[in-house]
Structures are given as C-alpha cells and as structure tokens.
Amino acid sequence: MIDAGSTGSRIHVYRFNYCNLSPTLEDEIFKEIKPGLSSYPDSPKDAADSLEPLLQLAMSKIPKELQDCTPIAVKATAGLRLLGNEKSNAILKAVEDKIKKEYPFKLPKENGVIVMEGKDEGVYAWITVNYLLNKIGTEKKEDTVAVMDLGGGSTQIVFEPLTIDHLQYPIPESNEGYRVELKFGNFKYILYQHSYLGYGLMEARKSIISEGSTVNQCFPDSFNKDVTIENKDGIDETVKITGTEKVNFRDCFKTIKSVLFNKTVACTTNPCSFDGIYQPSITETFNNNEIYAFSYFYDRTTALGLNLNPEVEDIAELARKVCSNGKTEFDSVTKDDPYFCLDLTYLYTLLSYGYDIKTDKKILLAKKINDIETGWCLGATIQMLDSMVQEGKLYSCSKKWTFNY
C-alpha cells in the first residue's frame, strides 16, 4: 500500500496469515520519501518516477514467485485533493501507467490508484488502530478507541459514540455524511466520522500566515522571512512575517481561534464542533474511552519530549513554554524550527476548542502500535484484501472473517 500524502509518499509492505478468524499481520516493511506527489503539479511523469525507490523496495522484499499475485494500491490524500481534478488525475494516470508497464504487482481494476476521500482516510485509520489493539476481529465485542489523525492537508476524527438513554441517538440517520457502519465478524459498529479538509497542519499554517501581521504573536523575534503561500483565490503571494518580542501563547491562541475555528456558523443538527459541522459530544458519548492521536499530533509534541499519554492541557503547557523569547530547555530543537509555537498552539486549539475535548482528558500519542505504523494504510489494506477474497481473486483458507464497509 502506497500512501501518497501531502508532504511525502510512504510504502507499507504487509505480510498476512489469512488462516484465522481475522487476518493476522505477521510483518511490515516501511519506507518514506519526500516530497509528495503534489510537489509535481505540472509534471505527472516526474511525480510517478518519484515512487521508484518505494516500488523497488517492494520488488526486493517480496519473493519473486509471489509478485504477480501481490495486490498493490496507491491512495493519495489531501495534498492531491487540493491540486484540483485536472492536475491530480494526470498524476494518478501517470502513476497507474508506470505500475502496469514496469511492475508485476496486481492493481485492482477499480480504485487501484485514486485520491481517497477524507471519510475513508479516517475510517481506515480507525480500523488500523482498533485492529492492532485487538478491539475488533475478536470473539467478544470490545470497547473501541477513537482516532484523530493530523496530516499536512486535512485532519480526521472517528469514534464509536456510546448510546446514552437520555440523549438523542448520537448519529441521526439523516446525517449520512457523518455516519459509517462497519461489520467485523458478528459485530456491527456505528461510527461518527468527519474529515476537515484545509485543517491539516501545513494548511493551517498557510491560513494563519495569510492573515499577515496578526500572526506575529505566534513567532519568535528571530523569525523574519518572506513566505510564499497560495491565497484564497488560488494565486501564490509572498507574505512577510516578522516575529515579535511579544510572542506568547495566549495571543497566538486567540489568533488561531479567530482565523480557523468559526463557531458562529448555523448548526443545523446539534451538537456541532465548528464551521457548522455536526459532532456528538465526546464528553457525553465517549469520555471514558481512549483517544489515539497520531501523525503530526505525535511528531510535533514528542519532538520536545512530551510524554505519550498527556492530558490536553499538557500540550497547552508545552506551548506556553515554547511561545516565549526567554531561554527554555527546548532551545536546541526550536532554534532551527520557528513553527513550534504556532504548531503546538494549533494542536491545543483543535483539541480543546475545535473538538471541545476537556483539558484534563488524556490522549495517547502513537506512531506505532506493536511495531506497526498507525494511520490509515493497514485498514485500507485489510479492506482491499477482503474484497479480493470475497470476489475469489485472492486465496483464503478461511472465510469466517468478513469486513463490510
């Protein structure tokens, strides 16, 4: 499975044992390259060729006699979505042609090389994490965990709201865009999901920087540079950003709230998170269950030594320390990366204000579970394999385990 993300492309080569109630993952090989496919908007061939190191890795690791029956898929995320249909389709076509002409792997007839919907990205990530934690595909129904994925272009939240007698059912049938039904074995799972395009970390940076001088409170006084961003009309423009001695968490928090999180938009179905988006209250429907956060949630916090099971407030406290011009224990890391104040404040704002998660709620930061990468790739691979089994295109010694989505 190739994850063509906004900041880079990654390959996951999985080996499964398909002889149990659910497919057992035995091994994963992982490799990442930068930049991503979206960095070649006007050169589809160069975009396709950029995947060469990943495809060659697969060739070197998969036994030759199994290569022509090994399925492969390339799924792009928010970076390509943001390029528009014409450019993204040209890149996808070049990638598909390259794999078909130069490699023996088995591309599905449909959806082999696609821009994945944000909805699928979040749901597959939920499958990955809950599968690795043995919460699904088991003999007995277990309490599941929520997942929050923060990429470069978009962010996703997916969880299974608990039904509480005195509340309206958490996901009304009319909200088809938010409601997802899955079946694993004998158990059905009704999930809430939403993908916020434009709220990934890199896109959030662009939105905040485009506000010009109001962003200064998010940058130290050592930051003084011209930043090229795409404005709201899709045109590149240069914005001069100058840091300030008055850099501080409180003002940066206010700026991010006002620029990105609109809570005055009409909420047609209560309750809402922001921008009029329906979301069951995590406090009321999921407060006692675990929340896993990964990708940039993990990368930007653990780089500064934050523990892997912090309270949401701990992220704010870390941001307060970083968002100052005084000497801190983080200077060796932050001196070459002036975005830490903005990024950490954005993470806290998204969790506490955007999703309305209590600040004393603990979250689990994870890059790997049982030495396997978190994210959507494993979930998407499980779905692809099961589809091939059901269609008789992939041998399975047991049909007991079923996946429906």
pLDDT at 405 over 60: no
Tell me the pLDDT tens digit for each residue of 222-265.
777 777 776 666 667 777 777 777 778 999 999 999 999 999 99
pLDDT at residue 283 in the model:
87
Tokens standing for residue 30:
């992982």
CATH superfamily of this structure's domain 2-116+375-391: ATPase, nucleotide binding domain (3.30.420.40)
**Is 375 known to sit in a ligand binding site?**
no
Of 121, 108, 123, 131, nearest in space to 185 by CA: 131
**Is 155 known to sit in a ligand binding site?**
yes
* Structure-token match 């002036």, residue found: 338
pLDDT at residue 233 in the model:
63
What percent of the chain has pLDDT above 90? Answer: 55
Numbers of helices and strands, H then E, in the chain: 13, 16
User: Across residues 98-119, what is the average pLDDT?
Assistant: 91
**Is 154 known to sit in a ligand binding site?**
yes
Query: What gap in Å lies between CA 128 and CA 367, rounded to an integer?
Result: 12
**Is 56 known to sit in a ligand binding site?**
no
Contact between 288 and 193 under an 8 Å Cβ cutoff? The reply is: no
Third-level CATH fold of 118-370: Nucleotidyltransferase; domain 5 (3.30.420)
Q: Where are the domains of the chain?
A: 2-116+375-391, 118-370
Helix (H, G, I), strand (E, B) or coil at 236: strand
Q: Which one is catalytic: 28, 86, 121, 329?
A: 121
Average pLDDT value over all residues in the chain: 87
The DSSP result for 302-355, as a single string, is HTTT--SS-BHHHHHHHHHHHSSSS--TTHHHHTT-TTHHHHHHHHHHIIIIIS
Q: Which of 26-40, 81-95, 156-170 has the lowest mean pLDDT?
A: 156-170
**Is 84 known to sit in a ligand binding site?**
no
Confidence of residue 173 (pLDDT cuts 50, 70, 90): low
pLDDT at 393 over 50: yes
Tell me the pLDDT tens digit for each residue of 109-162.
888 999 998 889 899 999 999 999 999 988 888 999 999 999 988 899 999 998
pLDDT at residue 390 in the model:
66
**Catalytic residue flag (residue 173):** no
Tell me the pLDDT tens digit for each residue of 269-320.
888 999 999 999 998 888 789 999 999 999 999 999 999 999 999 999 999 9
* Structure-token match 């007995």, residue found: 140
The DSSP result for 385-405, as a single string, is HHHHHHTTSS--S-----EE-
Whether the upstream peptide bond of residue 35 has omega within 30° of 0, thus cis, is yes
Measured in residues, the chain has a length of 405
Tell me the pLDDT tens digit for each residue of 299-310.
999 999 999 999
Whether the upstream peptide bond of residue 271 has omega within 30° of 0, thus cis, is yes
Task: List Cβ neighbours of 97 (8 Å cut-off, separation of 6 or more).
Answer: 48
Query: What gap in Å lies between CA 245 and CA 315, rounded to an integer?
Result: 22
109: region left, alpha or beta (phi > 0 left; psi from -120 to 50 alpha):
alpha
